[in-house]
């Protein structure tokens, strides 16, 4: 593929991923990079670099919407960026240093990306569990009104900077984590934030984070601008269409499918044998819904698809 040529197949793939992101609010880097590696045989470093540059143009769209709606905690954004922006830039150098140790940078990217994808699956599960606990607590006390949220959030600077630093390092090395990993950490540390505030804060902090990582990859990585252009031509209209259709989509089902795809991609990138991967995936598909329903029952929630779908839509964080 030429330096600035457009690949229609990648445009279509970018549109598919963009549509999923627009419909569910998650999965950008975690889906885009594995798609490029597995389906289009793009080497991992080029996939990570080009995906980050494409994300630099997509992230500000949602961030501006939340800034206009006032659903952004700017103090949290500031502390997150203090940690994430230099760490994201540093992540590229760490990647290069690890690659120089002997196995080659592509192998290092594959392993790092595989671990990041598995961490993203864990973050999705943690977010869902916390959401069920929150809804279960409300359901157990139907007569009580929800306690008023504090008007002033007590920010924990050191811990927030650390969250940004870890997230930034992962994003700089793999392009994964600007949403799925950081937002779950924020949910754990600041449970009083509303879902909209979590999404808005995460989207705004992700702009300078992704910008720093993208700049480092443009300077020291392996960005292919034709690939980036193809991704943008598909992903931006796909995300717009997905967002327009999001209210009618069975988002919980789609999120579960994303988790399975991320799990399979992560195991494959880590070199897990195909029979073991297949066994894990079958077990997840068969036992996952049963375990999830048991968790809902333990938290006093009805085992109804409709209720679950509504709660999943209301509690969507990334």
d(CA 199, CA 177): 14
Q: Which helix (H) or strand (E) holds 86?
A: helix 74-99
Looking at residue 314, its pLDDT comes to 45
- What is the mean pLDDT for each group of 10 consecutive residues in the chain (318 residues)? 74 87 66 86 87 82 79 92 95 79 69 82 79 67 50 85 92 77 81 78 88 89 86 87 65 71 82 87 85 79 53 43
pLDDT at 76: 94
Amino acid 97: pLDDT: 80
Cα–Cα distance for residue pair 260/282, rounded to 1 Å: 10
Tell me how far the alpha carbon of residue 23 is from its chain's centroid.
14
Is pTM beyond 0.85 here?
A: no
| Res 308: pLDDT | 45
Q: What is the dihedral of CA 279, 281, 283, 284, to 10 degrees?
A: 160
């Amino acid at each position: 593929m030429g330096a600035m040529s457009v690949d229609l197949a990648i445009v279509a793939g970018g549109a598919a991923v963009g549509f999923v992101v627009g419909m569910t609010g998650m999965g950008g880097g975690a889906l885009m990079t594995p798609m490029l590696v597995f389906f289009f045989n793009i080497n991992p470093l080029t996939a990570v670099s080009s995906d980050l540059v494409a994300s630099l143009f997509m992230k500000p769209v949602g961030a501006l919407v939340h800034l206009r709606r006032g659903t952004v905690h700017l103090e949290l954004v500031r502390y997150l960026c203090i940690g994430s922006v230099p760490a994201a830039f540093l992540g590229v150098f760490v990647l290069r240093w690890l690659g120089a140790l002997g196995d080659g940078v592509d192998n290092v990217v594959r392993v790092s990306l595989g671990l990041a994808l598995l961490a993203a699956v864990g973050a999705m599960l943690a977010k869902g569990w916390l959401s069920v606990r929150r809804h279960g607590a409300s359901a157990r006390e139907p007569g009580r009104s929800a306690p008023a949220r504090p008007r002033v959030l007590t920010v924990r600077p050191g811990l927030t900077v650390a969250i940004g630093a870890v997230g930034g390092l992962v994003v700089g090395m793999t392009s994964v984590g600007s949403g799925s990993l950081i937002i779950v950490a924020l949910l754990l540390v600041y449970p009083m934030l509303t879902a909209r505030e979590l999404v808005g804060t995460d989207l705004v902090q992700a702009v300078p984070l992704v910008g720093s990582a993208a700049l480092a990859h443009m300077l020291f990585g392996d960005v292919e601008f034709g690939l980036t252009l193809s991704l943008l031509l598909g992903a931006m209209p796909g995300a717009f269409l997905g967002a327009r259709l999001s209210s009618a989509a069975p988002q919980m089902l789609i999120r579960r499918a994303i988790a399975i795809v991320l799990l399979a991609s992560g195991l494959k990138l880590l070199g897990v044998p195909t029979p073991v991967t297949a066994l894990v995936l079958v077990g997840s598909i068969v036992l996952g819904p049963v375990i999830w329903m048991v968790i809902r029952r333990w938290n006093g929630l009805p085992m109804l698809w409709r209720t679950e779908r509504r709660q999943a839509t209301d509690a969507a964080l990334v």
